[in-house]
A = this chain, B = another copy of it.
Amino acid sequence: MLESASEILKANNMSVTASRQQILSLFFDKDRGALRHSDIEKQLDNLDRVTIYRTLQVFSDKGLIHPISGSDGVTRYALCKGNCSEGHHHDNHVHFYCHKCSQTQCLNEVQIPKVELPGIFTVRNIEMLIHGVCQHCKN
């Protein structure tokens, strides 16, 4: 477990608990793909299912992680890259889902392009998910 997990929790006004440290550390360990609830449950089988759901919710509310909704109906979460804050995400990057390894990753360097919408719509947030084969599975 990272030493810094507790620092990060403190810095974001969350009480430091074992569950939170373990879950947050997982996100730092795992640099490849976004994590599903079930991934976390498998790796931290000492934690209750419900605790994991609630922790993911809190982390998301605090701007530590952001949810990614894929076409397989399972919500994944990935670390926010610094510019998110409590109650407001700024993750305007593209997400990539690989249908070979079923991993979802953030393409942090790829910005979501602007779209022209008729003025009758008010835009709050844009999600862009690209499906295909990732760098690891392409071979």
Q: In the complex, which of the residues B71, B94, B118, B138 contacts A115, with contact meaning CB atoms closer than 8 Å?
A: B94
Rounded to whole Å, the gap between the CB of A107 and the closest CB of chain B is 7
How many residues on the A side are at the interface (Cβ–Cβ under 8 A)? 36
Q: B110 touching A115 by the CB < 8 A rule?
A: yes
B-facing mask of A94-110, CB < 8 A → 1, else 0?
Answer: 10100100000001001
Q: A138 touching B122 by the CB < 8 A rule?
A: yes
Q: A133 touching B124 by the CB < 8 A rule?
A: yes
Verify if A114 is at the interface (C-beta below 8 Å from B).
yes
Closest 9 CB pairs of A and B: A120-B135, A122-B133, A113-B113, A125-B131, A69-B71, A123-B132, A124-B132, A127-B129, A122-B132
Q: Return 30 A-B CB contacts under 8 Å, by A number.
A: A67-B71, A69-B69, A69-B70, A69-B71, A69-B72, A69-B73, A71-B127, A73-B75, A94-B115, A94-B117, A96-B121, A99-B124, A110-B115, A110-B117, A113-B113, A120-B135, A121-B134, A121-B138, A123-B130, A123-B131, A125-B130, A125-B131, A126-B129, A126-B130, A127-B127, A127-B129, A127-B130, A127-B131, A128-B128, A129-B129
